[in-house]
Amino acid sequence: MGYWGTIVVARPAGLLVEQAGVDGFGYEHRWLRELGDGWQMLETTGFDDPPDLCAPAGAVAASTGQPVFAAYVSDSDCAVMCSAVPGAVAALTHLWDVGGPCGSYRHQPRHLPEPAGRELDDVVAELIGWAAVAGLRADVAAVRTLLLSDGPADDLVFGLVKAFGAAGIGRTLPWSFDPMAGPFRLVTGTWGLPEKARTEANWRRTPEQPWEAASLVLAREIWASLYTASPDVAGLARRAVAVQAEYCAIHDPDEEAEAFESYFAGLADGSLPPENPEWSGREWADSRATGGVSTASGGQRS
């Protein structure tokens, strides 16, 4: 399986994950990086697949007063991009065949039109102009070459960011805790409680149950806590177990409560398993880093 997700480049005052408007791209803010001179890169996902890039790009440009670049990648095969400056949002553009529509993937929510074909020279000029407004010195030849490239779309998006003139692509900033460890898997896992809640909603035959909304709220709170200095890890864990218990009381009443308790056993004494960089994906994510950036060059945790 290839790369799915949204890549956002912006220049916030603090951390990009806390910037007004950024949740429009998604809420699973997994990887945050420094690019130098206050610029940051965020890799995020959400329930909307594909997301609307243009509206949140404009919102983040307005809230930061700085240009924003965003791209949504579909299974590493292709992508769409949107560049924005305060007060103006450019057209959604397909990558890497900028001249025609995609024949494989949907790149916009169903209520929005798919990206139209554009001339290569126009796209190059747009991106070079965007970089200039951002105060970056783009490599025109590199941008053009990348737009004509045929390779994993996520690699090419990272290449574009470098070609825009970013000082470098830093390693991922650390989490306060592993969102996939212990009881959090009940919520953040591939078939976690939020996905079950969405399935229930799509095939509704019974009244909505309290655990459904609770799981959706909790998922957002878990991901929103990853880059905070002192999150209530134990409290979040207990809520995950409580929502799971509510779910099982309806769907699997024979399940023993002790099974859920084991998910957060040890949290009280601080023994939540540490992050495994290979399992979490951080090891692979950090292999994209190009260096040349200090992890202290941008926003700080609050």
Please state, in angstroms and rounded to a whole number, the distance separating the CA atoms of residues 12 and 19.
Answer: 7
Is the overall model pTM greater than 0.85, yes or no?
yes
Please state, in angstroms and rounded to a whole number, the distance separating the CA atoms of residues 207 and 74.
Answer: 35
Per-residue pLDDT at 302: 33
State both tokens at 164.
């825009």
Together in a domain, 38 and 155: yes
Together in a domain, 32 and 145: yes
Residue 290 confidence class, pLDDT cut points 50, 70, 90: confident
pLDDT in tens, 126-154: 999 999 999 999 999 999 999 999 899 99
How many separate domains does the chain show? 2
State both tokens at 52.
């609307």
List helix spans (H) across the chain: 54-64, 120-133, 140-147, 153-163, 185-188, 193-202, 210-224, 233-251, 257-261, 277-280, 282-286
What's the whole-number average pLDDT of the chain? 89
Please state, in angstroms and rounded to a whole number, the distance separating the CA atoms of residues 121 and 297.
Answer: 34
Per-residue pLDDT at 254: 63
Together in a domain, 169 and 221: no
For the cut 80, the answer to whether the pLDDT of residue 22 exceeds it is yes
Residue 294 lies in a domain: no
Together in a domain, 205 and 140: no
pLDDT in tens, 229-282: 999 998 998 899 889 889 988 887 665 455 555 555 555 455 667 888 998 999
Per-residue pLDDT at 173: 97
Q: Which domain holds residue 186?
A: 182-274
